Amino acid sequence: MKQFRRVVVTGLAAVTPIGNDYQTSWDNLLACKSGIGPITAFDCSQFDARIAGQVRDFDPGLYMPAKQVKRMDRFCLFAVAAANMLLKHANYAVDPAKADRTGVNVGVGLGGIHTIETHHTKLVESGPGRVSPFFIPLLIANMAAGQVSIMAGAKGPNLCTTTACASGTHAIGYAYTDIQLGRADAMICGGAEGTISPLGVSGFTAARALSCRNDEPERASRPFDKDRDGFVMGEGSGLLLLESLEQARERGATIYAEVVGLGASSDAYHMTSPPEDASGMFLAMRNALREAEVDPSEIDHINAHGTSTYLNDLCETRAIKNLFGDQAKNISISANKSQTGHLLGAAGGMESVFSVLSLYHGIVPPTINYETPDPECDLDYTPNAPRKRDIQYALCNSFGFGGTNACVLYKRFEG
Catalytic residues: 165, 305, 342
Neighbours of 129 (CB within 10 A): 7
Q: For Cα atoms 221, 396, 356, give the angle at the middle one, nearest 5 degrees.
A: 100
Which of 322-354 are b and which e, b meaning 16 or more Cβ less than 10 Å from the residue's Cβ?
bbbeeebeebbbbbbbbbbbbbbbbbbbbbbbb
3-class DSSP assignment, residue 262: strand
Which neighbouring-strand residues pair with 102? 186
Cα-flanking dihedrals φ and ψ of residue 46, to 5°? -95, 0
HSE-CB of 192 using CA atoms within 13 angstroms? 36
**Widest CA span in the chain:** 64
Handedness of CA 90, 93, 95, 101 (dihedral sign): positive
User: Is the Cβ–Cβ distance between 324 and 296 less than 8 Å?
Assistant: yes
Neighbours of 162 (CB within 10 A): 18
For residue 309, which of 221, 375, 415 has the smallest C-alpha distance? Answer: 221
**Residue 257 to residue 412: CA distance in whole angstroms:** 5
**Residue 177 to residue 175: CA distance in whole angstroms:** 5
**Residue 84 to residue 237: CA distance in whole angstroms:** 12
Residue type, 16: T
**Residue 145 to residue 200: CA distance in whole angstroms:** 22
**Residue 347 to residue 355: CA distance in whole angstroms:** 12
Residue type, 199: L
User: Is the Cβ–Cβ distance between 24 and 365 less than 8 Å?
Assistant: no
Give the relative orientation of helices 22-30 and 347-361 as an angle to the nearest 10 degrees: 70
Q: What is the DSSP letter of 96?
A: G
Which neighbouring-strand residues pair with 16? 19
